[in-house]
Amino acid sequence: MNQKILAMAGAMLGLAFFAAPAAALQNDMFDLETHQPLVQNPAALDGGQPQQSAIPRETVDWKGSQAPGSVVISTTERRLYFILPGGQAVKYGVGVGRPGFEWSGTKVVSNKKEWPDWTPPSQMLRRRPDLPRHMKGGPDNPLGARAMYLGSSLYRIHGSNEPDTIGQAVSSGCIRMTNEDVMDLFERVKVGTRVTVMR
């Protein structure tokens, strides 16, 4: 009996030993640009549990003149609209550029990537020389699960592992979405899609 109890205790200690480093790593994960802590329990993606949306996605009425299939981003409202036929749009919560990094204008989606690599632009490296020069795509990458590149600009619509930042002005001009939402938008948007950013 005592031997069984000791064996069980040893097994439990072994499990705790191997689980601890993963938890410690997770607690040490920070957004590479803002130094804000990442979500403590990021959800599995692409077949796992969906990442909890900070702002629920919904279908709404749309009265704008933009053609179906186009994207409109309101940075003051911190929402992105994918225009549907019949006077409707899919409305997503987004994170936008922080003060000093706001912008507006019209771009087109020039490229789309799943689990994109991240190479910080030179402007960002001047502000943050501690950043890595290149980071392979994956769940810990600041660009998240999907990225849609906006013309030849440095801006992207991309995923994020920080759903608590959605609805806030925190980025260097890129449009952030939850990974769940950016995967949904990625399937709807085509290369060449017109993207209008309004302040």
* One-character DSSP codes across 120-180: --HHHHHH-TTS-S-B--STTSTTTTEEEEETTSS-EEEEES-GGGTTSEEESSPEEEEHH
- In DSSP terms, 37 is beta-bridged to 30
d(CA 151, CA 173): 14
Does residue 64 register a pLDDT over 70?
yes
CA-closest candidate to residue 112, choices 188, 181, 49: 188
- The residue-averaged pLDDT of 5-9 equals 42
Q: Answer yes or no: is 68 within a domain.
A: yes
Domain count, the chain: 2
Q: Are 23 and 62 found together in one domain? A: no
Residues 130 and 73 in one domain: yes
**Could you give the CA distance from residue 50 to residue 34 in angstroms, rounded to a whole number?**
24
Question: In the predicted model, is pLDDT for residue 155 greater than 50?
Answer: yes
With beta carbons less than 8 A apart as the criterion, state whether 101 and 75 touch. Answer: no
Element spanning 105, H or E: strand 105-114
Give pLDDT, residue 40: 34
Range of the domain at 14: 1-30
* Active-site option among 174, 177, 185, 189: 174
Q: Is 158 a catalytic residue?
A: yes
Same domain, 11 and 62: no
Query: How many whole angstroms separate alpha carbon 183 and alpha carbon 103?
Result: 24
Q: Are 72 and 138 members of one domain?
A: yes
Whether 156 and 147 have beta carbons less than 8 Å apart is answered as: yes
What average pLDDT score do residues 11-16 get? 36
Q: How many residues belong to the chain? A: 199
C-alpha R_g of the chain: 20
Q: What is the pLDDT of residues 14-38, one digit of tens each?
A: 333 323 333 222 323 334 444 343 3
Mean pLDDT of the chain: 78
Q: Which of 45-49, 87-91, 131-135, 139-143 has the highest mean pLDDT?
A: 87-91
Residues 62 and 20 in one domain: no
User: Same domain, yes or no, for 66 and 11?
Assistant: no
Q: Among the ranges 8-22, 31-45, 133-147, 184-198, which has the highest mean pLDDT value?
A: 184-198
CA angle 6, 12, 17 (to 5 degrees): 125
- Do residues 6 and 67 share a domain? no
Q: What is the 3-class SS of 51-89, one letter each residue?
A: CCCCCCCEEEECCCCCCCCCEEEECCCCEEEEEECCCEE
Could you tell me the maximum CA-CA distance found in the chain, to the nearest angstrom? 77
Q: How confident is the model at residue 140 (pLDDT cuts 50, 70, 90)?
A: confident
Structure tokens at 92: 């997503």
Tokens (6 digits) for 175? 């449009």
